[in-house]
Amino acid sequence: MIQAVVFDWAGTMVDYGCFAPLNVFMEVFQKREIAITIEEARAPMGLLKRDHIRAILQMERVAALWEVRYGQLPQESDIDALYADFEPMMLAVVHQYAEPIPGALALVDRLRQSGIRIGSTTGYTAEMMAIVTAEARQRGYVPDHVVTPNDVPAGRPYPWMMYENAAALNVYPMHTMIKVGDTVSDMGEGVNAGAWTVGVVKGGSELGMSEDEVAACDPDLLQQRMAIVAAKFREQGAHYVIDSIGELDQLIPLINERLQRGERP
């Protein structure tokens, strides 16, 4: 039976649309006179933020812009310099982006009533998460355990943060855990850990829409966009995709039935 659910933070449980890191990434590159697109800024979302900067710089179009502006392709020192700008800017604003996504708090209550433990992983550093967890606590969200990339040898898509959650929550084997997230790297983390992996579309970075934008969007267009995100998650190995975070516990009886039949993720 499922013993624990491990949630991502921004775009999954807090910060509808995952806008905190997006805005800072855009600004950091703009300071260097490199105009990255929203799509480029979002594509590596979920990675440790220094790895995220590296991934943007490795994009063919961005690397070409950098070479034109600075006379050479991006170097390791450029990653260091961009991250040196990014971190204080992120620390200054991240407290504004800890509002729980609609349905998240009620879901956690239902899971706990079922005896299911609540873990979490993130692409944020420990320093960033110290701020986010304090703000989220004031708003009613307190997972049983928090793991950041600082606690492990490497962040997503490596499974180490999942293993840390399993040890702290005393959950074994890994197929009795569910990993939930809103990015491609979340899917990789869950699959690589041997856990049931669920992608959530609304509120997430891959969809990249605010709550107001979702409400105002033409229903047919919204469904098209959501279908693209869902397909991307499944390509990365997601076992299930849900529209909204509050739907997660509907999957648990289905997964428990599969486990009882001897199926594994």
Pairing of strands 117-120, 240-242: unpaired
CB contact at 8 A, 194 and 237: no
Q: Which of 47, 79, 81 is nearest to 154 (CA)?
A: 47
Residues noted as catalytic: 8, 49
CB 201 within 8 A of CB 184: no
User: 91 CB contacts (<8 Å, ≥6 apart)?
Assistant: 127, 128, 131
CA 222 to chain centre: 21
DSSP string, 56-113: HHTSHHHHHHHHHHHSS---HHHHHHHHHHHHHHHHHHGGGG-PBPTTHHHHHHHHHH
